[in-house]
Each structure stands twice: as C-alpha cells, then as structure tokens.
Amino acid sequence: MRFHPWVFSGAVARIEGSPADGDTVAVCNQSGQHLATGHYQDGNICVRIFTFEPVWPDQSFWTGRIQNAADYRLAIGLPRPDETNCFRLVHAEGDGLPGLIIDWYAGVAVVQCHSIGMHLIRDSLVQALQQVFGDALTAVYDKSRETLPKTYAQGVQNGYLWGAQDQSQVLENGYRFHVDWAAGQKTGFFLDQRENRKLVGGLAAGKKVLNAFCYTGGFSIYALGAGAKSVDSVDVSAKAMEWTGRNVALNGFDPGRHRSITADVIPWLGSNNDRYDLMIVDPPAFAKNIAKRHSAVQGYKRLNALALKSIMPGGIMLTFSCSQVIDRPLFNHTIVAAALEAGRKIRVMQELGQPADHPVNLFHPEGAYLKGLMLEVE
C-alpha cells in the first residue's frame, strides 16, 4: 500500500500454485484483492513489482515502459548528439522496471538484468527497443551473466541479442571515451558520475590531481581538459590503466601531464609521499550485502583517512560510496570518523549523488545508491 516495489519473502502468508523463478505473479491481500503484479524469484526479495494495476504485461506494456523511459531522457536533455551520446536509459525501479538496467552507448543498448524475470523477457525488450528507437538503434548487447543469481547464470552467456558492434567511442560532455561493454566493468562505463566529472572539470585548472580507483580515467580526462597541472590515475587493474591511457590519447592530451599507476590504492596511499590539491576517491562497492556492512565501513574509514592525509591544506576532495547498504547518514558518519583519525579540519562544500538519468522512485529510497561529499580540507 506504500508502493514499495519489493515484496520480501517474510511478508508472504501463502503462495497459490507453484510459480517458477521469473514467472509473472499477482500479489493479493488476505481478502484476495489484487495489489500488484511482478516477477517472482525464490529469495529474500520474492517479488519485484512492475505495476500496481491489475494488468498482465504483454509486448505493448514493455514497449510503453521503454518509451516512457526514453521520453523522460529526452525531457532532461539526453542525448545531446554533439556533446553527450551515452546515458542510462533504464534505471530499474526508478523507471518502473525493477531488475533491469539499460545503458545507451551511441546507438548500442547494453542490457543488464538483475532478476530472472527480466532476463526471460529479453526478446520482448529487444522488440521494445527496436520499436522505440528505430534506425537509431544499432545493436543490443546482453551483459547479465555477472548480475543474475549464480545457479541461473551458469546457463547464461553474455552476447549480442540483436545486431553487433565492436567496442565503441562515445561522447560525454564533449570528451571522447573508449567503451568496452564486453570486457569492462558493469556495462562498460560509470555513467552515474557524469555530472560529478563535470564538477571536477570546474575545479582542476592549475591543480595537482589524484584520481584514485580511476577505472578508465573518467575524472582524469575532465581534469586534464580543464588544465590541471598534473594528474595521477591509480587503479589495481592493469587493463583499466591501459584503457585510461587510451582515453588520454583519444582526447589529445599531453602524456607528460598524466601518470598511470597500477597499484592497490589503499597500500599505495599509505606509502606515497606526494600531496595533492584535488583528489577524487571513488572506490568500488565495499559491501554488496548487509552482512558485510561493518567491514565495509571500516574500509571506507581507513581509505578516507589515508586520502585526507595526502591532500594539501586548502585542497578539495570528492569522496564516494556506491554501496547500496551504506546509506547517506552512515557514509557521512564514516567520513567524520576518517577526518578525526586524519586530524584534519573539513568543510562540506556539497553533497553529491547520481544524475537525473538515474532517477529514484520516491517509494524506493534504496535506488539512491551513489553518495558523495565534496570537502575542503584545511
């Protein structure tokens, strides 16, 4: 009745029939009144609701949801063909399609299913994308093996559902990036940091910059483009550092202003003696579930304390967490603890989050997964 799109198994009094994982089911109250329709999956979240109306989804239903998502992106100015041609097209619960992510890369739709139900309707999703985008759609790639339940995923292979295209170059705020959706993390690029990267571009002129957990160098490219004095990019993945170097070259920047460092960030920060004017700390999710939350908090605290010790007085640090199980108050408290450990005085300049193409359903606050702070360090 509060329109949260998840039904937890503990809330289910009884199951009528024998639904299989991925089946569409009706959710009813004790009197038999229809409350919602969604995909069933045996687990803690046993139903992911995609409508609170008494309707059974057909092709027109899925096409309508994709059309609604596309119309919303147009309304917020995406794509901008000469400036930004990559964005999130479907953000799960935020677009009424729980369990489904679709990222758009200059005509290639990369689909990532987090539920069996969404994976089973992938042919319907392809049809919907074809109907909504027509000739603008060049390929649909399924990148779901890593995000589906392990037992089901054993029979799943990533690959093209329709069309085919090699790795692509995309534009984001005028900068060029190489994206490899087949071999890269997530769908190939962290689209959720677009506006925060733009923010870094407004701060980096003349600065010595560190981009920690740089992946393919998104923040580094914006800093270089803004006229940073120097940029150090650090990631434990040699492949990520190769992609970062490729993106630096792709945008025509002087390689002498950029240093690629393949290293585990936390021990590297502990031994590095350089000090920076501007730092970006954007680690992968330290906690994927509640059980790992405490150890994740300790990890974030240690990481941020080391980072705060590495910044010049008057410097600025952008620090993030993308762990859904660590909410914003807990993240903020963790940064407070890190600042106390580092012995630095801090001013919060701005709270940061995900951009408008990653919308949050008002009744599903868990969708606001990306949390960040921009800090001035004295």
Residues serving a catalytic function are 322
Residue positions counted in the chain? 378
Local structure of residue 216 (DSSP, 8 states) = T
Give all strands (DSSP E) within 134-174, no chain letters: 139-142, 159-163, 168-172
Hunting for tokens 């012995």 — which residue is that? 343
| Residue 243 identity (one-letter amino acid) | W
Identity of the residue numbered 120: L
Structure tokens at 199: 């923010």
90: closest CA among 305, 371, 374, 367? 367
- Let me know: does 223 contact 200? Beta carbons within 8 Å: yes
Sign of the CA dihedral with 103 first, then 104, 110, and 115 last = positive
What DSSP string describes 29-65? -TT--EEEEEEE-SSSEEEEEEESSS----HHHHHHH
Rounded (5°) CA angle 242-246-250 = 170
From residue 333, how far is each of 43, 249, 291, 339, 349 by CA, in Å?
31, 39, 19, 10, 16
Strand partners, 34: 28
**Which tokens hold the place of 43?**
């687990």
**Which residues does 288 contact at the CB level (< 8 Å), separation at least 6?**
323, 325
